[in-house]
Structure 1
Amino acid sequence: MVRLSIIALGLLYALSNTLGVVADTATLTDPAIDGTISVGFSNVNITAILAEAEKELGVNGTVTDNLPDDSYGAPGTTITTRDLEKLQELRKRTSGTGIFGAIACLSLKLLFSSKTATVGTPNYNAWNNPSFWSATTYMTPTCVFRPTSALDVSLALRVILLTQADFNVVGGGHSAIKGWANTEDGVLIVLSGLTGVNIKTGYVEVGAGERWGNVFTELDKKKLMALGGRMSTVGVPGLVLGGGISYLTNQHGFVADQVENFQVVLANGYVVSANKYLNPDLFRALKGGSSNFGIVTRIDLRTWPCPHGVYSGQLYFNDRSEYPKIFDAVYNYHTVGALSDTQTHLISAFVYVQIPGIGGLHMGAFTAFRNLSAPISATNPGPGTALAEIVHLNPTVRDASTLQVRPYGTQAIELGAGDAPGLRQDMRDFSVYANRALYEELFLLWESVMIPKHGNKAGFMGTIAFQPITTTAVAAGVARGGNSLGLEGNTKTMAIINLTHQWADPKDDTEILKSLDELLGLAIALAKAKNSYHPYYYLNYARKQDNPIGSYGTAAVNRLKGVSRFYDPCRVFQDRVSGGFKIPGL
């Protein structure tokens, strides 16, 4: 097979820009690209733009004097990692990186005047803080860049690469960790302009700026469903790149397992497809490897018919005397029901909420879900046998629940309706093997550590949730070519223990976070004492101090290291993106 040289790839990419078509570069696996950065971009002289930005800032030559001689933007020109050493040394010599962020932001403003916002301009506030779920993540980037196409992202990354600026990327912003999708100095790339839900035969193309509520609303119109977030307000890319748990996970695996294709902009500006045929190593890495390899601009998800809808809704238990029976039902579902009816899902959450004028309220808040393969009838009751125990535990609760036959996407919309942006938030997790006694002891531990000390604080709400990952879910991922999560070989049900808390006053941050750290340590010790601890951390819930990618195991981490070295040889997403869970030991 004839293989294209890197120069030919550059020419092909430049031609594709001229024609308005994104090139899918299957030949990216050519070893010649390793260590090579393309700086050409059709009809754009990047060096001239950088020079103008330097001139306006009064820092002539700061970056441009260090550029390689061939970096004037002609299609097909390239520079190697060795040529970038001068730029990297410049970054080390300069006190702070503020000047690089300023040059990058002004360059982007010159290139994309309506898509780049700086401090003090109306779009800066409109695009920045409202993009984030938790007030703990608010920061002040040098500028906010809101692209509307993959080609916008491509050119922006080339500018950022050459300026040596820091940057970060936000999709739905549903993280509580400061700096994980924001930056205090540099460029914040906001993906909310990358919209679109394009339904095809057997799959749907989803722009990375979408949230799951809109995706499901469009699919419901066609009586289709796809794996995705269980709350409508969650963004698409972050959930998928962290693995993603869905109402359909028990049957079809993690959300990432049912991705057909990722459209990705690499650090060098190439726009590539990653699927089982094109760049398959990158494809697998993105399924749980987070934002370590490029900026995902579109995700194509497999779809299934949903002609009969789903039977789902929420159940609220407020009688503490029922809790022992509830834990029996949860354990039985995790170890028996979920395996006997893989089309079901159960979120088992215990909540404490402080209600002004009323006081503290304890409750069990459960979400039951069953995909209906046939209409409900006497022989096919809504909950089936798997969910019958929890649904019928208390007739009063069942009758007051929101359980009903409904379009698939409306369950995520119902659950997302209670999401409250703008408060102080914290999420964390750990994993255990299914253990009924442990579940109840973890609940009592959570309640004793968090409620007496913090239950009366303004806006406080605490949740401990038990979410099963069955062997069928893991096997579904293996059948689709594998992911990065390292769960292959599990022989029994595990459960992700998710702790989510919110409060209103930043003055309470220190005390609440200290208690949560204490709680997590005690909970993990308890699980280990009962020989039920599992080392896996679900990335989308993990706290900053934890190492979810490291928890995937040596084989998975080594694969991720290799993919990162190949597709990001200059370590742009390891060193210049200020937050996010990185690949350990790279």
Structure 2
Amino acid sequence: MFSLCSQICRFAVVLCIGFCFVAVEALPGLNATQNELQSTGSCCDTLDYFLPGKVHDDTILDLDAAYEASLASYYSQQEQSLNPTCIVIPTTNEDVATAVFILNTAYKLSLSGCKFAIRSGGHTPQAGAANIEGGITIDLQQLNQVTISTDKSFAGIGPGNRWINIYPTLDAQGLTMVGGRVSTVGVGGLMTGGGVSFYSGRYGFACDNIYNFEVVLASGAIVNANSTSNPNLFRALKGGSNNFGVVTRFDVRLFQQGKLWGGTYTQIPTPETRTDVFNFIHNFTKSATYDPYAALISNFAWEAGVIELIVNDVEYTKPTPLPPAFEGLFDIPGVSTMRVDYLSSFTTEIAVASSTTNGKSNMFATLTFINDAAFMAELYALADAMVTDLNTHVLGLLFTMTYQPLPHAIYSKSAASNVLGLDRFTDDFINLLAVVSWQLASDDATVYTAVEKLFGDAEAAAKQRGLWNEFVYLNYAASWQKPITGYGEESKAFLESVSEVYDPGQLFQVGVPGGFKLATG
């Protein structure tokens, strides 16, 4: 925490900030109500005073390139369409601390228009997840350091990184880390939401391989959270998302890694092919025979209402072509990009394949169920019917249903050290992800309704067959889903207790409305 001197300085700043707020609200000649003044600039003006050159806004008469670039870099149209009053782009952890301190002061003064969003890569699609209308967005993309220790055992990773910035750096030194599988995804959200990796079979979730978080608390204090310092906060951040503070650095474990074998294997989805692929996924996901070096993502893609392709993202984290773990998959006719290459090549390949959805209306939804090939086929049939109907009146519809193995052999690696709640289970699971994209914002409500019904029907069918599991992977969750609740009562109660200690005023529950909050998520 801060020293006494720092606390005194902070108190002086509070007085100064209070004066700034009052001064802005008392400017003569402004024909605006107090609420209008507060919602259109007092927080932004104060932030600009203390962070000169790092606060950006946008008006008709003064277009700000940094403001526009920040909005344009969000993944979804829904997030791009929001207009914060200003965007703070910090370059140091102290900048973040200053911004949070000011915004917490405004929160305590109950000033309107001073709620804020925290943004890393901006890949979560729903509006308000990492952006805000009429508030302040803290855009962390300039905190993109990748600092490797002299003994090459760990790295300090900035939250504003995307994997495309990290993996080539590590590849060049024969190193890697447990991180994301799509090069354009941001670090901050993935790591605090869990993080599935090609290395999860060996090392668990990405969050399980962080040994220290540097985090800015609501008070503006910059603290470290690890196994010996703030250990409850350390655990809470492993799945607790944006509910406790702003992470300004992840210290992560590194390990040796050269080239590996991987690529895509694409098939035409005939009825026979689908059955064979579902049977392969079922056998691949069994913990009893699971190869921890093997990773699989099987994507069933519809475009314009027609099932087009099955695209299997296949990785084996050794340079070993056609290992026994994938026996059977390559007997099914298909087209291959399989090769031996570096991790960055494979994560970029997946990013390029999904890049056609960038900037469009997008959504995710997810379901966890016990590994069962027949149920995979039933889910496919439900999705096919929905897409066929939706395509008749939604322009540019692209729907991808992704089956991802989540066997006990993966999630048990360090389940007790995070808050995902998976230590309650022993079954082998499949994680289902729907990625939906469409052209017109006017179709948003229609698509949301249809996809929510699809997942409601899927959940009901899973429950009827005894295959449903309550775990909802936060990084894939739709706005109506409740991943924090899905962690289970014990984990949720633990998270709430940590929040009371580290954020007693509940800034990150009320003042940061985006994301999945502890009470409602």
TM-score if structure 2 supplies the norm length? 0.92
Q: Work out whether 1:211 is the aligned partner of 2:153.
A: no
Shift of 1:59: 5.6
User: What does residue 95 of structure 2 align with?
Assistant: 152
Deviation per CA, 1:496-523, whole angstroms, max 9, x where unpaired? 1111100111122122221111111111
User: What does residue 192 of structure 1 align with?
Assistant: 141
Q: Where in structure 2 are the equivalents of 1:395-434 lying within 5 Å?
A: 397=334, 400-418=335-353, 419=355, 420-434=357-371
Q: Where in structure 2 are the equivalents of 1:73-152 lying within 5 Å?
A: 99=38, 102-120=41-59, 121-123=63-65, 125-137=67-79, 138-152=81-95
User: What does residue 465 of structure 2 align with?
Assistant: 530
Change (3 A) 1:551 1:96: farther
Q: Work out whether 1:545 is the aligned partner of 2:480.
A: yes
User: What does residue 40 of structure 1 align with?
Assistant: 9
Q: Work out whether 1:367 is the aligned partner of 2:313.
A: yes
TM-score if structure 1 supplies the norm length? 0.82
- Structure 1, unaligned runs of 5 or more: 1-5, 15-37, 61-93, 377-381
Q: Secondary structure at the match of 2:4?
A: helix
CA contact (8 A) 1:313 1:402 kept: yes
- Counterparts of 1:483 and 1:336 in 2: how far apart (Å)? 21
User: What does residue 581 of structure 1 align with?
Assistant: 516
Shift of 1:39: 6.9
Shift of 1:50: 4.3
Q: Work out whether 1:162 is the aligned partner of 2:105.
A: yes
Q: Where in structure 2 are the equivalents of 1:476-555 lying within 5 Å?
A: 476-478=413-415, 482-555=417-490
User: What does residue 559 of structure 1 align with?
Assistant: 494
Shift of 1:579: 1.3
Aligned-pair identity in percent equals: 29
Change (3 A) 1:486 1:266: same
Q: Secondary structure at the match of 1:316?
A: strand
User: What does residue 468 of structure 1 align with?
Assistant: 405
- Which residue identity lines up with residue 206 of structure 1 in the other structure? I
Change (3 A) 1:319 1:166: closer
- Counterparts of 1:545 and 1:452 in 2: how far apart (Å)? 22
Pick the structure with greater CA Rg: 1
- Which residue identity lines up with residue 341 of structure 2 in the other structure? R
CA contact (8 A) 1:133 1:176 kept: yes
Shift of 1:184: 1.3
CA contact (8 A) 2:482 2:520 kept: no
Structure 1, 341-350 or 298-307: larger mean CA deviation: 298-307
Question: What is the number of equivalent residue pairs in this alignment?
Answer: 502
- Which residue identity lines up with residue 517 of structure 2 in the other structure? K
User: What does residue 58 of structure 1 align with?
Assistant: 26
Change (3 A) 1:260 1:362: same
Q: Work out whether 1:221 is the aligned partner of 2:172.
A: yes
Q: Work out whether 1:177 is the aligned partner of 2:126.
A: yes
Residue 391 of structure 1 is aligned with which of 303, 324, 330?
Answer: 330
User: What does residue 222 of structure 2 align with?
Assistant: 271
Change (3 A) 1:328 1:96: farther
Name segments (4+ residues, structure 1) moved above 4 Å. Answer: 94-98
Residue 373 of structure 2 is aligned with which of 436, 446, 453?
Answer: 436
CA contact (8 A) 1:450 1:516 kept: no
Residue 195 of structure 2 is aligned with which of 244, 259, 280?
Answer: 244
Shift of 1:57: 4.4
- Which residue identity lines up with residue 139 of structure 1 in the other structure? L
Q: Secondary structure at the match of 1:315?
A: strand
Deviation per CA, 1:177-218, whole angstroms, max 9, x where unpaired? 111111112211000111111112211111111001111111
User: What does residue 82 of structure 1 align with?
Assistant: none
Change (3 A) 1:186 1:319: closer
Q: Where in structure 2 are the equivalents of 1:266-415 lying within 5 Å?
A: 266-307=217-258, 309-320=259-270, 321-335=272-286, 339-354=289-304, 360-372=306-318, 375-376=319-320, 382-394=321-333, 397=334, 400-415=335-350
- Counterparts of 1:482 and 1:346 in 2: how far apart (Å)? 25
Shift of 1:51: 2.2
